[in-house]
């Protein structure tokens, strides 16, 4: 049995183009893997804990090798509960529109909560960061209004979107990453054809996953 964590970063519900592309991937993967378990995490609906001072202190305690006590322990338990949902998945599907060149703030909040020492990464004083996740795969369903890799940059935007997600996943130990791009969605002379092309890529990736 394989478990897919499907993370929706757009708050637009059924109007979300990134989710529409990702849904094609999910449908195809379900056909290929009948025992697939899909855990959908809609960040617009999910209650995410604030990454407050207690959580920062708990994080620094882990880095320093210190035990958690009192409020720090409560904060770390809350972090661990959210992170374990991510860690338990075999595959990740992240549907993320580009916001101001980067990722939506709720996705950034989610990453800030779960990307913790001893959970997703470790730090060697001599060699640097290393990921703790093993044998995971990720697919990014990416959309943007004006930006696309074929458009002049920075005139039509700069991609801190896919690069951020890739760097984060790499640091956690996830290196098997594929991208599905429907870009641009607004400045597009034929959006239906472009969506169909993205959907075909989604089907291709899912068919060989």
Cis status of the peptide bond prior to 184, with omega within 30 of 0: yes
CA distances from 193 to 64, 147, 197, 198, 203 (A): 53, 17, 6, 9, 15
Cβ-in-10-Å burial (0-12, 13-18, 19+) of 154 comes to exposed
List, as residue ranges, the binding site.
Answer: 10, 16-18
Buried/exposed code over 66-76 (b: 16+ C-beta within 10 A; e: otherwise) = eebeeebeebb
List, as residue ranges, the binding site for FMN.
Answer: 10, 16-18
CB contact set of 87 (below 8 Å; sequence gap of 6+): 119, 120, 133
CB contact set of 185 (below 8 Å; sequence gap of 6+): 17, 143, 144, 145, 191, 194
Question: Which runs of consecutive H residues, i.e. helices, occur in the chain?
Answer: 17-32, 53-64, 71-87, 105-114, 162-172, 191-208
Q: Which residues lie across from 181 on neighbouring strands?
A: 142
């Amino acid at each position: 049995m394989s478990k897919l964590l499907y993370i929706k970063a757009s708050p637009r519900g059924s109007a979300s183009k990134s989710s529409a592309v990702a849904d094609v991937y999910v449908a195809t993967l379900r056909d290929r893997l009948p025992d697939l378990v899909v855990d959908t995490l809609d960040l617009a609906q999910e209650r995410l804990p604030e990454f407050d001072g207690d959580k920062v202190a708990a994080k620094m305690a882990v880095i320093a090798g210190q035990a958690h006590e009192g409020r720090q322990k409560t904060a770390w338990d809350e972090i661990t509960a959210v992170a374990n949902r991510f860690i338990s998945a075999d595959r990740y599907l992240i549907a993320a529109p580009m916001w101001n060149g980067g990722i939506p703030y709720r996705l950034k909040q989610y990453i800030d909560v779960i990307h913790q020492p001893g959970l997703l990464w470790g730090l060697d004083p001599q060699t640097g960061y290393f990921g703790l996740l093993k044998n995971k795969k990720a697919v990014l369903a990416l959309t943007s209004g004006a930006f696309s890799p074929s458009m002049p940059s920075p005139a039509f935007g700069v991609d801190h979107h896919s690069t951020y997600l890739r760097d984060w996943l790499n640091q956690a130990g996830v290196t098997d990453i594929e991208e599905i791009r429907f870009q641009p969605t607004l400045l597009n002379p034929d959006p239906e054809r472009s969506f169909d092309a993205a959907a075909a890529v989604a089907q291709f990736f899912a068919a060989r996953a």
